[in-house]
Structure 1
Amino acid sequence: MWWDDAAPSPAPPELPARADVAVVGGGYTGLWTAYHLLSEQPGIEVVVLEAEHVGFGASGRNGGWVSALFPVSGDALAARHGAPAAHAMLAALRESVEEIGRTTADEGVDAGYVRGGTLVLARGRAQEARARSEVAADARWGGGTRWLERDEALERLAAADRPGRTVLGATASPHCARVHPRRLADGLAAAVRRRGGVVVEQARVADVVREGRTHRLLLDDGRELSVGTVVRATEAWTATLPRLRRRLAPVYSLMVATAPLTAQQWDEVGLADREVFADHGHLVVYGQRTVDDRIAFGGRGAPYHYGSRIRPSFDHDDAVFAALRTTLRQLLPQVELDFTHAWGGPLAIPRDWHPSVGYDRAARVGWAGGYVGDGVATSHLAGRTLADLVTGATTSRTELPWVGHRSPDWEPEPLRWLGVNAGLRAAVLADHEERRTGSPARIAPVLDRLTGH
């Protein structure tokens, strides 16, 4: 759906023979890196190489949450890196949410940015207990998440009760905005071009050969580019690179979208402030009111594919699409929902659920990723940080605890396939148990350890 009204790409530029920096990957991480390099060091020669079109991966397919969410909790960050580092990391993410709004406004990017916050329903006693615990934990890290009682929650989103899923309240965070993902990617690419960067689509890198202090990038169509620094911004597609197959696991998230709702229907539903929404279940779901008044709704549940394979056919899973449509209809039975679109794509999960940014100064190679689906704002912070690292600047960003973090590799197959799919299945079973018993699932502590919480 995000691609329906995408503007055609500009005429392809000629690939230069050399540049200072080559960014491999034309998603948010690569585009923000290029944007900030060009902003902070005018005159630097930056080339972005994208195998398909900008925003082809998760950047152009996601749920449009510009959130300060981080897949590692504040408490877990503090345990690994210390409390001051955890405070700094989470504060930097909150700042990124605001900074994306300022930058899109300054650059004239019509990405539908509206900072309406996040509303996450507590449906049942087990979810309520988890939600209240999250509010208390967030308070320790200055997050500003608050608990809403049932009436206030339903006033903002008129969700229906179902057996085992009575709405008991919700958590509300101010640190999230809604965007149109593809428009954001296209707008960033245009901003990079205006600053003198070169964005080359249909430019698949086949290999990178290091030659002393430079790198020679070989494209699969025979073209070559010589650069001083290479930044890898390939997110889920990192698992397709020969030397990095176990670095990240590509897991699919799928989405559906409705036809536009009428003003009367929206009066019955809510989301008047364009809040994004979810619930406190173990299996992730997420939704937003789009710029053209549809509901875009997504979730996990699709299987991990053996050998970290990524194929276009995996973008579609009829069973998951049907489950998403049913879930949304049960959530909002007061309005008739007609569905017009369904799509999906892979996101990247590190073995310890910990995103990272890194730069090897000797090799002059940078990288970032492993956002576990929370990458719209996180990739902005990653891009700014990579720009600092590449240019040699020492800033508060380069001191953040994810800089230089190295996640362990995933297990070889078939252990990886068994483990990832067992985790996905465990989340489904945990939600079923909680709806049946009203108590936290017995497997929940294991899931929390698996997911970095």
Structure 2
Amino acid sequence: MQDQAKLALANTKFSPFWLDNPARPAAEAKLTTTITTDLLIVGSGFTGLWAAVQAKEQNPDRNIVVIEANTAAIGASGRPGAILSTSLMHGMENSNRLFEKDMEELERLGKENMDQFRDTIEKYNIDCDIEWTGELTVAVGKHGIDDIEGEHELYVKFGHDAHLLDKKQIQAEINSPLFDGGLWSKKRSGTINPAKMAWGLKRVAKELGVVFYENTPMLTSKTQGQQVVVNTPEGSVTANKVILATNAFTKHKKKISTRVAAIRDRIVMTEPLTEAQIAELGWKNRQGIYDTRTQLNYMRLTKDNRVLFGGRLGYFYDNNTDPEHDKTPEPFIKLVGMLYKTLPALKDIKISHAWSGPIALTTRMAVHYQYYHGGKMIYAGGYSGFGVTASRFASRVALAIVDDVDIPERNLEFSKTVPAWIPPEPFRWIGAKITMYALDTCDAKGGWRIPWLNLVDKMGFPLKP
């Protein structure tokens, strides 16, 4: 299977499929002067774009500037699997693990957030290939069945339209020898083209009056009176308030990296499927899919019927987010092999694109806030892979925090606490490498891997095998 995977990757583009689009917007001008603004947003991924749009909706006269180190959606927002979920805290089990007393309110807010996510798309006519096809968790083995049964209880408790599927029923949804059951959440979930969504939000923000500067990284920041001065390579911005919407890109503020690890999530995209291949898969309802394996995989279909398959994690020393490290076939061979094992009908399919995306991993796997310059600068991030929709909610709360507006969400525990500390290098790199090897081999080999993953779980990361 390894040789077959190498052949499949022979002519692959090692760059994100989502960004390989002639409709990709041209870059904005660099900042080359000194300017002032009321609100500065650093980063034009989902968090920054949602913050810009919502801030303008709240106050159309507000002066807002966005600076971006590269171009919009070039980071995590142009690289995910982009399966939509109402969960604000990385899934119901994780939310219940962390914030049990706030669960009812978090679930209500998650549904409200998704409805408003949809409303924004419709209001501003954002073309993003959205499909409201549901979210399907597939069980692999007996442990997987136990997992989805426990998750189903939470779904029912909090009013979701979720249905347990037995082996026969799951095989009717998608043909895989690995899947023994499933949990299908049918409402308020589906898939999206993330780059087109981000570019659409940028268009909306510009139409509302937000000013963008690209290829303009933040270098330093300092307090100057009641304001914050952010320096860039060729200019500076003096702002009353600043939102750091940088998520996994943490080098400008080392304190962020004490609680955030930039983990690589790897993805492969197939060439478009033929009608015969689609029929053999039986994936007629086109759900976004996660499995229950210790080394989780996920998959979805695109508008032109490619299969996106992702999930093998990687880590480079010192939170390195440079995508050039994943520009060769080697990091993707095992992932392609797992694609073939999961969906044997695609055993001869070629891979058109392969890439990695930075996940801002924290011990709580969900958004948190950090404060700088006496609260005039706020960091919002740490979605751990669940930021496509949660970023809208998180940026709304970030606006309330930086503007000191009293909203009920600020009284919930998630907005008042931070994740646990993560060890520095070289211990972080060593721990990450051992953990990723254990994740990759635990289901097949067990042994020492199980107590190691249990130890990591007790440190705060929910990785219990």
Length-normalised TM-score, structure 2: 0.87
Aligned CA-pair RMSD: 2.6
Tell me by how many angstroms 1:149 deviates: 1.0
Name the CA shift for 1:79/1:265 in 2 (closer, same or farther; >3 Å).
closer
2:387 matched residue in structure 1: 375
1:451 matched residue in structure 2: 461
Is the 1:210–1:216 contact (alpha carbons within 8 Å) kept by the matching residues of 2?
A: yes
Tell me by how many angstroms 1:72 deviates: 5.6
For the residue of structure 1 that corresponds to 2:414, the secondary structure is coil
Pair 1:44-2:56 in alignment = no
The percent identity for this pair of structures is: 24
1:134 matched residue in structure 2: 151
Return the match for 1:268 from 272, 280, 284. 280
Tell me by how many angstroms 1:276 deviates: 0.6
Whole-angstrom distance in 1 between the partners of 2:88 and 2:294: 16
For the residue of structure 2 that corresponds to 1:334, the secondary structure is helix
Is the 1:217–1:225 contact (alpha carbons within 8 Å) kept by the matching residues of 2?
A: yes
Return the match for 2:367 from 355, 365, 373. 355
Whole-angstrom distance in 2 between the partners of 1:270 and 1:99: 32
1:396 matched residue in structure 2: 408
For the residue of structure 2 that corresponds to 1:380, the secondary structure is helix
2:340 matched residue in structure 1: 329
Pair 1:294-2:306 in alignment = yes
Name the CA shift for 1:90/1:318 in 2 (closer, same or farther; >3 Å).
farther
Name the CA shift for 1:106/1:37 in 2 (closer, same or farther; >3 Å).
same
Name the CA shift for 1:59/1:382 in 2 (closer, same or farther; >3 Å).
same
Is the 1:359–1:386 contact (alpha carbons within 8 Å) kept by the matching residues of 2?
A: no
Pair 1:253-2:265 in alignment = yes
1:209 matched residue in structure 2: 222
Q: What amino acid sits opposite 2:53 in the alignment?
A: Y
Whole-angstrom distance in 1 between the partners of 2:375 and 2:413: 21
Superposition pairs of residues 332-347 of structure 1, within 5 angstroms:
332-335=343-346, 336-347=348-359
Tell me by how many angstroms 1:286 deviates: 1.2
1:89 matched residue in structure 2: 106
1:149 matched residue in structure 2: 166
Is the 2:148–2:183 contact (alpha carbons within 8 Å) kept by the matching residues of 1?
A: yes
For the residue of structure 2 that corresponds to 1:403, the secondary structure is helix
2:137 matched residue in structure 1: 120
For residues 280-305 of structure 1, give each alpha carbon's deviation from its aligned partner in whole angstroms, at most 9, with x where no partner exists: 10112111110121111111232x22
1:5 matched residue in structure 2: 21
Whole-angstrom distance in 1 between the partners of 2:379 and 2:288: 29
Q: What amino acid sits opposite 1:269 in the alignment?
A: L
Length-normalised TM-score, structure 1: 0.89
Question: Where do 5+ consecutive residues of structure 2 fail to align?
Answer: 1-16
Name the CA shift for 1:444/1:423 in 2 (closer, same or farther; >3 Å).
closer
Q: What amino acid sits opposite 1:91 in the alignment?
A: R
Is the 1:239–1:247 contact (alpha carbons within 8 Å) kept by the matching residues of 2?
A: no
Return the match for 1:309 from 320, 323, 326. 320
Question: Where do 5+ consecutive residues of structure 1 fail to align?
Answer: none
Whole-angstrom distance in 1 between the partners of 2:421 and 2:225: 28
1:59 matched residue in structure 2: 77
Superposition pairs of residues 427-438 of structure 1, within 5 angstroms:
427-433=439-445
For the residue of structure 2 that corresponds to 1:121, the secondary structure is strand
Tell me by how many angstroms 1:312 deviates: 2.6
Tell me by how many angstroms 1:77 deviates: 4.6
Return the match for 2:240 from 207, 224, 228. 228
Q: What amino acid sits opposite 1:12 in the alignment?
A: E
Whole-angstrom distance in 1 between the partners of 2:295 and 2:317: 21
Pair 1:185-2:195 in alignment = no
Tell me by how many angstroms 1:148 deviates: 0.5
Name the CA shift for 1:97/1:263 in 2 (closer, same or farther; >3 Å).
farther
Range moving further from structure 2, 394-403 or 23-32 = 394-403
Is the 1:358–1:386 contact (alpha carbons within 8 Å) kept by the matching residues of 2?
A: no
2:430 matched residue in structure 1: 418
For the residue of structure 1 that corresponds to 2:267, the secondary structure is strand
How many residues are treated as equivalent by the alignment?
441
Is the 1:93–1:377 contact (alpha carbons within 8 Å) kept by the matching residues of 2?
A: no
Is the 2:294–2:439 contact (alpha carbons within 8 Å) kept by the matching residues of 1?
A: yes
Whole-angstrom distance in 2 between the partners of 1:359 and 1:245: 14
